[in-house]
Amino acid sequence: MSESMTKEKPLWLIALTILLPASFACLATSATNVAIPHIAGYFGATTDEANWIITSYMIANACLILMTGWLENIMGRKLFLKVFISIFTIGSLICALAPSLNIMVIGRLIQGVGGGPMTPIAQSVLLGAFPKEKRSIAMSLFGIAVMIFAILGPTFGGFIVDNADWQWIYYVNIPVGIISVAMVHANIKEIENRTKIEHIDFPGMIALVIWLLTMQIVLDKGQQYNWFDCYWICILSAISIISLTFLIVWEIEYRNPIVNLRIFKDKNFLIGTILSASVNVIVFSSIVLLPQFMQNLIGYTAMISGMALAPRMISSFVMVVLINPMMRIFDNRKLIAIGFLLLGLSILIYTNLSLQASFFYIAIPNVLLGVGIIMIFIPVSSLVLGTLPKTELSNGASLHNLCKTVCMAISASVANTLVARHTQMHQFYLVKNLSDFNLIFQQKLAALIHTFSSTMAVSSAHIKANNYIYKSLLAQSKLMAYVDVFAILALIGFIMIPFSAYLKTDND
């Protein structure tokens, strides 16, 4: 197909072509999290062993995110997209047919290699294809593909594992991948004036892989092995820090780096990346913690837990339709500030959770959260790369998305660690109430013994009553820990409000 013909492709067709694989790559990231207990049971593995399914994907995903602009420049946009969509599709097929956990981990690694570049290249293609006056429309479409499909993941995954085999989470990617390759071949044009790469940055690539690999292992296994009380966790942490330091220094000094870190000098890029990373921290920490709370403490199924998060997807979709006229009428910085206010308020509501919380009490704040997400995500996506030259769009999108991915991985690990540690802390204080000198405890214990003794011996009733109270104590301790973490997430949202004022808009 000639270049003149590709120039005539309508914008909606280009957007559909690039966003179709990007949306399913985001869906695969969050849908798998819900299915981990089912996958572990299928392979007869522990949950800790099955978590390598997530770890392997995150490592490969993060490595390729940062290499996106560099590889695209070497291979050309069209070939790059067709190759990596095919890799993602092959990885999905391996995951679906995996006979063992080890093969499943390899499949997820391959899937991560293919899916990693999809988000940054989608953002750079849209910003390059759409004229400046329609950039907000481009980022609205980008928001649907990236943020809404990522939010949809737990609901989609919960529906699959409760109503079909978990393998269908991966089967659905196969026809999408085949269609996407055909659409890319027909609708995406090649990059003009690609920079000729004379030297390959092998030291930068090696440092990047070592840093991400060691960091992800530390984050994934730190809580299990009590963090820095474990010798090999300390060693891997040191290697990770050294590799990151070397990577930063090398990429700044090397003439042909895999990523140009100097673009952090651009104020919009720096502040926009901080704001986007903060949104990812809040949103994805809540995606991790809320299903855990609902399934472990309230007893919801995976599907019901996913349905409780569905309102944020619905409100996000509605806001995607409304955000473009809002961005034309109002200052985008004010929209971002209001978005963070709504984000903080929605999470703050969860600090009043109880073990008797209803489905609607958990679901309704997600409406507010979905509105806040889009009020931040679309304006920030339009502004963060808006002041970069076109030659740096792919590189900027890659670095921007890497920062968001790394912050997401760190926040999920930190959130789980805080829940575990604060559970122990609250348990330490609450257990003091289970004393012979506490009349309320003694009355409650006596009432339980009397109830249980109607169906069993008094000695057995006494043991069961104590076990019942201790189980309640553990549940209350964990509930209070979740409340603490939600309070921290709400505080992050409120702290980010004034940062939006430092962004530069087209009217400045």
pLDDT digits (tens, 9 = 90+) for 62-121: 777 777 777 777 777 788 888 889 999 999 899 888 888 888 888 888 988 888 788 778
Separation between Cα atoms, residue 63 and residue 247, nearest integer Å: 13
Q: What percent of the chain shows pLDDT beyond 70?
A: 92
With bands split at pLDDT 50, 70 and 90, how would you rate the model's confidence at 390?
A: low
Higher pLDDT, 304 or 491: 491
Residue 465 belongs to domain with CATH number: 1.20.1250.20
Query: What average pLDDT score do residues 398-420 get?
Result: 80
Residue 261 lies in a domain: no
Cα 304 → chain centroid? 20
User: Which of 171, 198, 225 is at the close of a domain?
Assistant: 198
Q: 244 and 277 share a domain?
A: no
Residue 330 lies in a domain: yes
Q: 371 and 228 share a domain?
A: no
Residue 260 lies in a domain: no
Residue 325's Cβ-count burial label (10 Å; 0-12, 13-18, 19+) is exposed
Residue 67 lies in a domain: yes
* Both structure tokens of 384: 């963060």
Separation between Cα atoms, residue 243 and residue 214, nearest integer Å: 9
Please state at what angle helix 149-163 crosses helix 267-293, rounded to 10 degrees: 20
With bands split at pLDDT 50, 70 and 90, how would you rate the model's confidence at 5?
A: very low
Total count of domains within the chain: 3
Q: What is the pLDDT of residue 238?
A: 92
Residue 155's Cβ-count burial label (10 Å; 0-12, 13-18, 19+) is buried
Q: 129 and 242 share a domain?
A: no
pLDDT, tens digit, 9 for 90 and up, residues 301-360 = 777 877 787 788 788 888 878 887 888 888 888 889 999 999 999 999 999 888 888 888
Q: 172 and 215 share a domain?
A: no
Q: 239 and 296 share a domain?
A: no
* Both structure tokens of 328: 């034309």
Q: 126 and 162 share a domain?
A: yes
DSSP per-residue codes, 187-236: HPPPPSSPPP--S--HHHHHHHHHHHHHHHHHHHHTTTTTGGGSHHHHHH
Q: 241 and 271 share a domain?
A: no
Q: Using the predicted structure, report yes or no on whether residue 414 has a pLDDT greater than 90.
A: no
Asked whether 34 and 85 are in contact (CB, 8 A), the reply is no
Q: What is the pLDDT of residue 490?
A: 93
Q: 238 and 345 share a domain?
A: no
Q: 338 and 213 share a domain?
A: no
Q: What is the pLDDT of residue 383?
A: 80
Query: What average pLDDT score do residues 263-292 get?
Result: 85
Which helix (H) or strand (E) element contains residue 56?
A: helix 52-75
Q: Using the predicted structure, report yes or no on whether residue 200 has a pLDDT greater than 50.
A: yes
Which helix (H) or strand (E) element contains residue 417?
A: helix 393-430
Q: 105 and 2 share a domain?
A: yes
Q: What is the pLDDT of residue 491?
A: 93
Domain extent at residue 228: 201-255
Cα 458 → chain centroid? 51
pLDDT, tens digit, 9 for 90 and up, residues 368-388 = 888 888 888 888 877 877 777
Q: What is the pLDDT of residue 486?
A: 93
Residue 426 lies in a domain: yes
Q: What is the pLDDT of residue 313?
A: 78
State the DSSP code for 295: I
Query: What average pLDDT score do residues 188-199 get?
Result: 64
With bands split at pLDDT 50, 70 and 90, how would you rate the model's confidence at 168?
A: confident
Q: Which amino acid is at 50?
A: A
Q: Using the predicted structure, report yes or no on whether residue 507 has a pLDDT greater than 70.
A: no
Q: 330 and 234 share a domain?
A: no
Query: What average pLDDT score do residues 291-306 get?
Result: 79
Q: 164 and 312 share a domain?
A: no
Q: What is the pLDDT of residue 252?
A: 81
- Mean pLDDT score across all residues of the chain: 80
SS3 state of residue 482: helix
Q: What is the pLDDT of residue 3?
A: 40
pLDDT, tens digit, 9 for 90 and up, residues 426-469 = 888 888 777 777 777 777 777 777 777 777 777 777 777 777 77
Q: What percent of the chain shows pLDDT beyond 90?
A: 9
User: Which of 211, 227, 255 is at the close of a domain?
Assistant: 255
Q: What is the pLDDT of residue 191?
A: 67
